Amino acid sequence: MTVRRDFKEPARCRPDLVIGREEQVAQAREQLGRGGSVLLHGPAGIGKSTLLRALAAQYAEAARTVLRCSATESESHLPFLALADLLGLALDEVSDQLPAAQRTALESALTGRGESTLQRDGLALRLAVLSALRALAAAGPVLIVADDLQWLDPASAELLGFAARRLGDTPVRMLCAVRTEGQEYDRHLRASPPDTLAVRLNPLSRTQVSDLLDHRGYTGLSRSTVREIHRTSGGNPLFALELGRALAESPARPRPGEPLPVPTSLRALVLSRLENLSDEVRHTLLVASAGARPTLALLHAAGRENAEAETAQAATLGLLATESEGPAVRFAHPLISAALYAEAAAQERRAAHVALSTAASDPIERARHLALATTGTDPEVAARLAEAATLARDRGAPSVAASLGLLAARHTPADGEPTSEVLRLQAAEDAITAGDLDLARDIAREVLSRTPVPEDRVRAWIIVIDTAGHAMTEVDSVFPQALADAGDDPKLLALIHYQLAWRGLLVEGDFDEARRAAAYSAELAERAGDRYTELMALSFQAQIETLMGHTNAPATIRRALTEPQDPRVACHHNGAGYSRFRWLIMSDQLAEARATVTALLREVRRRGSVESEVHFLRGVAETELRSGHCGRALDLAREGLRLARDSGIGEVASAVLTSIAEASGGEVDRALALAREAVEHAEEGGDQVYISRALAALGYAQLVAGDAPDAVRSLRRVRELEQGLGITDPARGRWHGDLAEALVRIGEPAEAQDLIDVTREQAMRLGRESVLAVLDRAEALVRASRGEHDAAVAQLTSVQDRLAKLGYGLEEARTAFVLASLRTGRPGQAEGARLYREPERAEARRAEHGRALDTGFGAPQADRKDTSSYDEAARLFRRCRALPWLRQVDAAADASPPEPAVQPPVALDGLEGLASMERQVAALVMEGATNREIAGRLFISVKTVEATLTRVYRKLGIRSRVDIVRLAAGRRAK
């Protein structure tokens, strides 16, 4: 593609950070920071110049001299033009340092005076450019910034490449950009130093395109529109911005089924080659652009008899993809298809759709083309579109169903049945299922402005409430209007009271009120014969009772699961299936919980329900995390977070779970950032439930990071919030053990024990075995801090076994870690406080070890650590892929002194000069143990045993193991 030089990005609002290019920016910065050169490459409009300017602005300050050039296609035939741009202003500074022949040749080339050519003055010119750059670099670093290398005149490219290849260690860096359609950038590296890093700029993701549009001020676009911009632009930021600008300037947005408006600038950019095509080829391409999945067979069926030859001709001009990928006819870029369609006259488009309405084999496609070929209302067309929408819904394509439903509403006559408003409301509900909340909200608002029918109005109000998600404070004013429209109709009132139950939970944080509202909704729905709403209300009531630790929860779940069932409820994220999953996972039935939520996820993916998919992805990830599969959980959590952010559904909840997964199996810094983001967003939305969940995730991440004081502050807030909310089931958030552990670390064992006692009573009442085990682990730390070392070790041993049997792999590994810490520590030491000071101690000890090596001596014998006590914890964490915890084990093993808690069987009180380790080794020698046996029993190395015995010999004035035995025998005889 050819980009005209007057086609620029908007000058305003240039981003301080290049959106979507973080990885490439980091690579380029690292290369430039160490004195290397960078070549940016990629297709037209991909953002090379933007990134080039950002990097040049950053690194220009460190250079004494900055040389710039930006070539153009129209000037690429002028010899030495780029060289003149680069060295023209710097020539006076270095000309007197060049030999006469070089200076004459360079001045002639740069000024145009004389007849200097590469053929005549080749060597002199080459050496002159090299000498000039060396002279400039002798005074300070030089940065060469060259954009659009593909238009560099050949003479300048040759001279620049000659010098670049010979600069060696001279402080000259090159920062260049070149347009490439594939990976064919090698030839441009010849104009760059040998160590140049080539950085490919790829298309932006949908989320990155959305961020870019928001940054440039195009914020009023729905998610479906942004998705279409991303598809049409192919992720090209320049194309995306131009499409966004065209939409922002357009007085009317395109209706469903209509393409995006393509601005004139982009049409000229991609369609300049159409001038060489015949009318017949253009017509064939128009039919292909109108089809959803065009093939040669479809084009033939649509009356394009010479489709093979015509598409081949278009492919030679770069309009169609040339590679063989089956029967599909694929445009080289989605924008070409969009521009072709936008360029055609309305009559030509309708003719293409008429042909496709009979040629397409799929009934959904036939109905769509029929609608786009028809103007005005037509009951037959509307009926076919409504049938196609139902088919799309059954196929699990709710976004297609929404689009078809809106087309059906447009073609429905005023007296049609179903009415156009009913069709629009169904389309809005399909849009919610597809995750397009903005479109659903717009449709509902339109219906509310047009209909007086109470049932339609209440249904529209419910859609408005649903699209608010957890931010229900934004729709507080809706409830009185909805209640007024409902009157005394129990079916409509049931719908509203179901939403009021959610409001009571999320906004008021009142579990009792939410439970009462859900129960009342179920009662009203039963009275009205609305089984769907009745089941949804019962399911929500069961979820609330589960969180409250209410004894009725199992019975309510059973009621929600009784027949007759509604298939829409069975796999809904607020249905009975998910309520049962929550009960199972809180009751430690991990295998059954995994099977239940996995089946639900499979079904909603088949149906195309984005919101339910976001929920169930979290459910599967949570189950894997509880089971100790941290790597798998992290992958699922990240997938769910991407989907949540893309759809705008469940972002806070997904960020919370991903934070926990990152702290368990990924990056702690990322976990902290996600948790803080979730807290902020939950507080902004007034979501009382998720404020506490986000704070619990933050506290856990802080605990893993070794920040016990902040962990205590965060988790104390969780305790206060959940007490206020009436949440009594400790399996809901599982933060209690973390808070108790953090309290021990900061020296508050009494508060920790109080928390353990209260929580244990609740856990025992509900039979939460895993919670009880974790509480026992925290209690062992309390005991260790009080000097009850043996009791703590025994309690931890029991806890580890119980957690292993329950299948809680990560908690089992954490217990093994604490147990190893106690076994390698001094009895009576405040183990909990010591455990997470180890990383700092390890760093200090490694520094001491380094100093010993620097002076030519080995590390002091006393610093040779015993790591065998940590082997079991390390093995379990590796099995879980719990990388942050594994790093803590490594740090603790490096830092902990080898002082096992094994007590010597023989008293040696008279040997006052021996240290604790020496006394234990001596005692085992007296029993006749070999060095290897001693090492195994004390969890130390054989070399450590040998070194310890050497110190014992020296202190006791003896020479061998036999002397130790004799000394002990003599003392026993006395």
pLDDT of residue 120: 62
Q: Is the pLDDT of residue 608 over 70?
A: yes
3-state secondary structure 68-135: EEECCHHHCCCCCHHHHHHHCCCHHHHHHHCCHHHHHHHHHHHHCCCCCCHHHHHHHHHHHHHHHHHH
> pTM surpassing 0.85?
no
% of the chain beyond a pLDDT of 70: 86
Give me the pLDDT at residue 701, please. 96
Number of neighbouring beta carbons within 10 Å of residue 62: 12
Q: Which of 186-190, 645-649, 863-867 has the lowest mean pLDDT?
A: 863-867
Hey, which residues does 174 pair with through a beta bridge? 144
Both tokens of 558, joined, read 């059973």
Alpha helical stretches, state H, 567-667: 567-570, 576-586, 590-607, 610-626, 630-647, 651-665
Q: How far apart are CA 160 and CA 109, in angstroms?
A: 14
Q: 829 pLDDT band (50/70/90 cuts)?
A: very low
Closest CA to 698 of 684, 724, 718, 722: 718
Residue 199 phi/psi, 5° resolution? -115, 115
pLDDT in tens, 348-399: 999 999 999 999 888 888 998 998 888 888 999 999 999 999 998 888 888 8
Instruction: Check whether 182 has a pLDDT greater than 70.
Output: no
Question: At 586, is the secondary structure helix, strand, or coil?
Answer: helix
Long-range contacts of 422-425 (CB under 8 A, 24+ apart): 422/456, 423/382, 423/386, 425/456, 425/459, 425/460, 425/463
Q: How far apart are CA 837 and CA 892, in angstroms?
A: 9
pLDDT, residue 854, reads: 36
Confidence of residue 495 (pLDDT cuts 50, 70, 90): very high
Range name among 12-21, 733-742, 796-805, 904-913 with the lowest pLDDT average? 904-913
| Whether pLDDT at 831 is above 70 | no
Peptide bond connecting 418 to the previous residue in cis, omega within 30 degrees of 0: yes
The answer to whether residues 388 and 427 touch, using CB atoms and an 8 Å cutoff, is: no
CA nearest to 397, candidates 644, 643, 609, 645: 609
The pLDDT value recorded for residue 388 is 92
Q: Provide the pLDDT confidence category of residue 74 given band limits of 50, 70 and 90.
A: confident
Can you say whether the dihedral through the CA atoms of 118, 121, 123, 125 is positive or negative? Answer: negative
Supply 683's token pair: 């507080």
Three-class DSSP category at 261: coil
What is the arithmetic mean of pLDDT over 481-491?
Answer: 94
Closest Cα partner for 224 from 399, 462, 393?
399
Q: Collect contacts of 840-849 with beta carbons under 8 A, ≥24 apart.
A: 841/895, 842/891, 842/892, 842/894, 842/895, 845/894, 845/895, 846/894
Separation between Cα atoms, residue 463 and residue 446, nearest integer Å: 12
The whole-angstrom separation of Cα 818 and Cα 568 is: 47
Token pair for 952 = 């014992």
Question: 533 phi and psi, to 5 degrees?
Answer: -65, -35
Helix (H, G, I), strand (E, B) or coil at 40: strand
Q: Would you call 857 helix, strand, or coil by DSSP?
A: coil
Residue 67 φ/ψ, nearest 5 degrees: -110, 130
Residue 134: both structure tokens together: 């060396």
Could you tell me the two tokens for 601? 């996820």
- Per-residue pLDDT tens for 920-936? 788 777 766 778 777 76
Binned at pLDDT 50, 70 and 90, residue 596 comes out as very high
How high is the pLDDT of residue 313? 86
pLDDT score at 493? 96
Task: Identify the residue with better confidence: 624 or 21.
Answer: 624
Q: pLDDT tens across 632-660, in order? A: 999 999 999 988 887 778 889 999 999 99
User: What average pLDDT does this structure show over 843-848?
Assistant: 42
pLDDT-wise least confident of 61-65, 69-73, 118-122, 890-894? 118-122
Backbone angles phi, psi at 197, to 5 degrees: -90, 120
Residue scoring higher pLDDT (341 or 837): 341
Place of tokens 């803590």: 888
Instruction: Work out the pLDDT band at 115, boundaries 50, 70, 90.
Output: low
- Whether residue 895 is predicted with pLDDT greater than 70 in this model: the reply is no
pLDDT band per the 50, 70, 90 thresholds, residue 325: low
Number of other residues whose CB lies within 10 A of the CB of residue 562: 10
The whole-number pLDDT of residue 121 equals: 65
Grouping H, G, I as helix, E, B as strand and the rest as coil, residue 918 is helix
Residue 837: per-residue pLDDT: 44
Higher pLDDT, 727 or 618: 618
| 229 compared with 10, residue with greater pLDDT | 229
Instruction: Tell me: pLDDT of 847 over 70.
Output: no
Can you give the pLDDT at residue 116?
55
Secondary structure of 863-879 in HEC code, one letter for each residue? HCCCCHHHHHHHHHHHH
Looking at the chain, the whole-number percentage of residues with pLDDT higher than 90 is: 35
Express each pLDDT in 547-578 by its tens digit. Answer: 777 888 888 888 888 888 888 888 888 888 88
How many Cα atoms occupy the beta-carbon half-sphere of 881 within 13 Å? 16
